[in-house]
Amino acid sequence: MSIHSRTLGRVAAAVAAASLGLVAIGVVASPAAAAGPALPTGSALYALSCDGQAFEDLTVFSVDVSTAAATQVGDGSPDVDECAYQAAWDASTGTAYLDADGGTLATVDLTSGTATAVAPFTIDDVEYDVDSIAITPAGAAYAIVDGVLFTLDLTTGALTAVGPIANTLTLYSFASDPTTGELIAISYDGEVYSVDPTTGAGTFLADLDIPVDESTRSSVFSLQIDSNGVYWLEIDVSSGESAYVSQLWSTSRATLASPAVLSGTLTVNGDQTPLLESLLWVPAAVAPVIPAEPVVEPAAVVVPVAPQLANTGVDAAPIAAGGALVALLGVALLVPATRRRATA
């Protein structure tokens, strides 16, 4: 059985910081939070909890991307109370899925905040933990397990191996570009890969440039890509002995090598900073196209045309008059004949 732990990822990051003095993705002073890019019109960004102390049940939050302020949706899901790892939106069915604590595929209702387990993740009927999931615009689902790409059956949780992505086991951030279908995976230390869905091979794109103080430990745990091409990142950040907080950052495919933009620390009610390791971007609802009522043209009124005589060069009027005269003479001749029969 494959086992992974996000805690192990944080320990590795801490070791790297201790031995090198910094994490690869952070080398300069932490910037002040700045207003990040706006979301596409009508779309929304959500975050899902991974903090059993502040929020005992798995909880959904809507996120203001300009400030990173999070607002709770619903009352939480007591039946799915584990940590929420990478979530994914299935545009082909309008369904939100999440990776519950690595071991369970679940759906989540973004109106009530209720999550519902679908099935455990399995490889050849053996249950496995997965690192992250992603769904393409066409509804093809994938998962990553220890650096290997798998296809994912969204009804059974079954996984089928495609191929290894890269020489890393910590690809916790995984998403599909909603406009191109490209699969993007990011390791916890900021290595960005484009993933081939047919072979699993990862093409290295860049190291994220996350400008944090050199004494700060930071790890990338979630990625979502919106229809404007913006990469939304959840990054766990800890300075010294302080607990980790979740920060919202943004960049794009074209600006991966440039400093990312910090929206702020994901905060609930202005002061709570629960651990949130899963983001979910949802596009605007598409209004149904109502077909126009067919236009029925009124039936054409057919006016009968009087029969016309053939063009013989003879005027029809005298002929008609003559016919009428013959008819009158016939009646006049008939009357005397009738009388004669009556008096005979």
Instruction: Tell me the per-residue pLDDT of 79-112, one tens digit each, with 9 for 90 and over.
Output: 776 789 999 999 999 999 999 988 999 999 999 9
C-alpha 234, offset from chain centre: 18
The pLDDT, as a whole number, for residue 232 is: 98
Q: Is the pLDDT at 129 greater than 80, yes or no?
A: yes
Q: Are 39 and 226 in contact (CB under 8 A)?
A: yes
Of 63-72, 201-210, 295-304, minimum mean pLDDT range: 295-304
Which whole number is the average pLDDT over 56-74? 93
Other CB atoms within 10 A of residue 13 CB:
23
CA distances for 265 relative to 60, 142, 281, angstroms: 16, 29, 18
* Dihedral sign for Cα atoms in the order 197, 200, 201, 207: positive
- Tokens for 201, please give them: 């091979």
CA distances for 30 relative to 12, 95, 188, 216, 219, angstroms: 21, 37, 19, 9, 15
Q: Is the pLDDT at 221 greater than 60, yes or no?
A: yes
Q: How far apart, in whole angstroms, are the C-alpha atoms of residue 83 and residue 86?
A: 10
**Class of the domain covering 6-282:** mainly beta
pTM above 0.85, yes or no: no
H-state helical runs in the chain:
6-20, 316-343
The pLDDT, as a whole number, for residue 342 is: 42
- Tokens for 72, please give them: 């709770």
271 or 124, higher pLDDT: 124
Could you state, in order of their start, the residue ranges of all structural domains in the chain? 6-282
- By three-state DSSP, how is residue 40 classified? coil
Instruction: Tell me the per-residue pLDDT of 11-54, one tens digit each, with 9 for 90 and over.
Output: 454 444 333 233 334 333 446 666 679 999 999 999 999 877 77
Q: How far apart, in whole angstroms, are the C-alpha atoms of residue 108 and residue 89?
A: 10
Q: Are 6 and 51 in contact (CB under 8 A)?
A: no
Q: How confident is the model at residue 218 (pLDDT cuts 50, 70, 90)?
A: confident
* Dihedral sign for Cα atoms in the order 46, 262, 255, 163: negative
Q: How far apart, in whole angstroms, are the C-alpha atoms of residue 131 and residue 118?
A: 17
